[in-house]
Chains A and B, each alone.
Chain A
Amino acid sequence: MEAKTGDPLIRLGLLEEALNLARANSLWPLTFGLACCAIEMMAAGMARFDLDRFGAGVFRPSPRQADLMLVAGTISKKMGPAVVRLYEQMPAPKWVIAIGNCAISGGPFNYPSQYAIVPGADLIIPVDVYIPGCPPRPEAIIEAILMLEEKITKRGRLRKFRDVKG
């Protein structure tokens, strides 16, 4: 059974929108540090960059209580099945942010005779937002959270700033 999220049986438009607004502003990320990007993810959660401003600072160790998986680091071939298993054990609705080049495409470790890593998290689990960088700065992780909120609520909170002409 391929790991994915299905639609609910009854779709009420207004209710769905209200729920999405609540979900977007209270993302509980799964502490899932693989390598160097994990330290930048921790720095993003701490006092200066503070993910709590966006409701995303509650790092849950168990996938049962998390709804956002931050893939922070290189997924090695030995770790691949564990990543898929963790994603499957997260209850729906769930989202994935791939932090860093390793999670996007294998990054600096992706070259012809590579034998140890899965070149990209989207080969094994569906990814919603990608953040390039090696490691990306904490501000980029915050922008990713905002972009994910935009994707969940389908309202352009961030787009307003982006359209400001220089």
Chain B
Amino acid sequence: MIELGIEEKTYTLNLGPQHPSTHGVLRVVLEMDGEYITKAEPVIGYGHRGHEHMAENRNYQQFLPNMGRVDYLHALAYNQGYCMAVEKLLGLTVPERGEFIRVILSELNRISSHLVWIGAYLLDLGAFTPILYAFDDRENLLDLLDRITGSRLTYCFYRFGGVPRDLDEEFITGTRAFIKRLRSRFRDYESLVTKNVIFINRTRGVGLITRDQAVKYGLTGPTLRGSGIAYDIRKSEPYSAYPAFDFQIPIGDKGDVFDRYLVRILEMEQSLRIIEQALNQLPNGPIMADKVPKRLKPAAGEVYQAVESARGEFGCYIVSQGDLKPYRIKLRVPSFGNLSILPEVAVDTLVADLVAILGSVDVVIPEIDR
């Protein structure tokens, strides 16, 4: 090679903390040769707020609001995971109506999380219209959840032993109307995005993830199910009232970005089916376990409770030494594992494909950084 004075060097670029397609404050340091990426190293910690340190300085009830702010898109799953872990420690059982209400609200929250993802992801790929549709549907959904829980995003609604407020008639009719309306909107998403040639060309065959890569990196959730592995905590480790409903787990076949998108769309349909069945079979009875002690002093021991959140398996690992404050709480967050595969998948891809891959993994940064 003729020595031209400018030596052959890769170009280093910050896909930095403030970037529209990183869905928050994630920084990816890219080393590129022309348009092709030779090395992509995510740098996280820009959203670190120290939830686990806070857990050790608060008693069990005081840590509940934190649960809504770890993964604020599917906050109710985190509430459910944490409450069920503490209920396991205390040996509390939630009455059946309480479990049904938890499932209904958590599935509604999962749909609102997928709608935000569809909007933000298509925005990354340059399509501005889908986010308007998605957020319009989401606003209707948030009206429902707002009626019952009182907040729109960072829910802190579940209590140890059940649910503090019951569903009222207007919520039930509103939810049934919402289900009908969203089902009719799926055709719009179908024609707007799924059959969109540009979207297919940008996502088919991009960012392939195989099964043994998934095992090595501990992927869970739609990112894993896109590669054809039907691992969903609601089915493989049934909890709460999920055994009472029949629903499928959609899986992709090739494991590329398009399949991960398709899995999330089909999953919303399944969530609607769950909500419908839950509303039809809603038992009456108490919504809160009766004698729940005010000052919780669970016995010493440790517990691990896994729950299926919109991004994957949220595991709440609590070590208690028998006093008011938990000794240690570890939040096993799905996006941590899902993002750690990015350096391996992003090698030799175009920068535009990296944006597609990063979006398809659906990360929420304060959840990764905790």
**What residues of chain A have their CB less than 8 Å away from a CB belonging to chain B?**
30-36, 38-40, 42-43, 46-48, 61, 73-74, 76, 78-79, 82, 86, 108-109, 111, 113-117, 134-135, 137
Whether B45 pairs with A76 at a CB distance below 8 angstroms is yes
CB-nearest residue of chain B to A30: B18
**Chain A CB within 10 A, most for which of B25, B45, B66, B365:** B25
Return A120 CB to nearest CB of chain B, in Å: 14
Q: In the bound complex, what is the Cα–Cα distance between A111 and B53 (angstroms)?
A: 11
Whether A79 pairs with B366 at a CB distance below 8 angstroms is no
Contact of A116 among B50, B69, B132 (CB under 8 A): B50
Contact of A39 among B18, B72, B132 (CB under 8 A): B72
Whether B18 pairs with A86 at a CB distance below 8 angstroms is yes
A78-B45, A114-B50, A116-B49 known; A137-B152 Cβ under 8 A: yes
Question: Can you list, as one digit per residue, whether each of B12-23 has a CB less than 8 Å from chain A (1) or not (0)?
Answer: 000011111000
Whether B24 pairs with A38 at a CB distance below 8 angstroms is yes
Whether A74 pairs with B49 at a CB distance below 8 angstroms is yes
For the side of the interface on B, what is the size category? Answer: 35 or more
Whether B154 pairs with A34 at a CB distance below 8 angstroms is no
Contact of A108 among B69, B365, B366, B369 (CB under 8 A): B69
Q: Which A residues touch B365, using CB under 8 A? A: 35
Whether B20 pairs with A35 at a CB distance below 8 angstroms is no
Whether B45 pairs with A36 at a CB distance below 8 angstroms is no
Whether B49 pairs with A109 at a CB distance below 8 angstroms is yes
The answer to whether the Cβ of B306 comes within 8 Å of any Cβ in the partner chain is no
The 7 A-B residue pairs with the shortest CB-CB distance in the complex, in nearest-first order: A46-B135, A36-B72, A79-B46, A116-B50, A61-B20, A48-B139, A35-B366
Return B358 CB to nearest CB of chain A, in Å: 15
Dominant secondary structure of chain A at its interface with chain B: loop
Whether B139 pairs with A43 at a CB distance below 8 angstroms is yes
Q: In the bound complex, what is the Cα–Cα distance between A10 and B65 (angstroms)?
A: 52
Q: Which A residues touch B65, using CB under 8 A? A: 108
The answer to whether the Cβ of B54 comes within 8 Å of any Cβ in the partner chain is yes
Q: Which A residues touch B16, using CB under 8 A? A: 82
Q: In the bound complex, what is the Cα–Cα distance between A134 and B19 (angstroms)?
A: 23
Q: In the bound complex, what is the Cα–Cα distance between A43 and B49 (angstroms)?
A: 24
CB-nearest residue of chain B to A109: B49
Q: In the bound complex, what is the Cα–Cα distance between A108 and B58 (angstroms)?
A: 12
Return A163 CB to nearest CB of chain B, in Å: 30
The answer to whether the Cβ of B324 comes within 8 Å of any Cβ in the partner chain is no
The answer to whether the Cβ of B48 comes within 8 Å of any Cβ in the partner chain is yes
**What residues of chain B have their CB less than 8 Å away from a CB belonging to chain A?**
16-20, 24-25, 45-50, 53-54, 57, 65-66, 69, 72-73, 116, 119-120, 131-132, 135-136, 138-139, 142, 152-154, 365-366, 369
Contact of B48 among A76, A108, A111, A113 (CB under 8 A): A76
Whether B131 pairs with A113 at a CB distance below 8 angstroms is no
- Apart from the given pairs A111-B54, A114-B50, 8 other A-B contacts in the complex at a CB distance below 8 Å: A31-B18, A42-B135, A61-B19, A74-B49, A76-B45, A76-B48, A79-B17, A135-B72
Q: In the bound complex, what is the Cα–Cα distance between A82 and B65 (angstroms)?
A: 28
Whether A76 pairs with B49 at a CB distance below 8 angstroms is yes
Q: Which B residues touch A32, using CB under 8 A? A: 18
Return B304 CB to nearest CB of chain A, in Å: 25
CB-nearest residue of chain A to B72: A36
Q: In the bound complex, what is the Cα–Cα distance between A165 and B154 (angstroms)?
A: 34
Q: Which B residues touch A46, using CB under 8 A? A: 119, 131-132, 135-136, 139
CB-nearest residue of chain B to A82: B17
Whether A35 pairs with B18 at a CB distance below 8 angstroms is no
Whether B24 pairs with A31 at a CB distance below 8 angstroms is no
Whether B46 pairs with A113 at a CB distance below 8 angstroms is no
Q: In the bound complex, what is the Cα–Cα distance between A74 and B366 (angstroms)?
A: 9
Contact of A47 among B20, B116, B132, B154 (CB under 8 A): B132
CB-nearest residue of chain B to A59: B20
Q: Which A residues touch B369, using CB under 8 A? A: 76
Q: Which B residues touch A78, using CB under 8 A? A: 45-46, 48
Return A102 CB to nearest CB of chain B, in Å: 8
Q: Which A residues touch B152, using CB under 8 A? A: 40, 43, 135, 137
Return B96 CB to nearest CB of chain A, in Å: 32
CB-nearest residue of chain B to A114: B50
Q: In the bound complex, what is the Cα–Cα distance between A34 and B365 (angstroms)?
A: 8
CB-nearest residue of chain A to B17: A82
Q: In the bound complex, what is the Cα–Cα distance between A109 and B114 (angstroms)?
A: 27
Chosen A-B contacts, 16 in total, with CB atoms closer than 8 Å, are: A35-B24, A36-B154, A42-B119, A42-B120, A43-B138, A47-B136, A74-B47, A76-B25, A76-B49, A78-B45, A78-B48, A86-B18, A109-B50, A109-B54, A113-B53, A135-B152
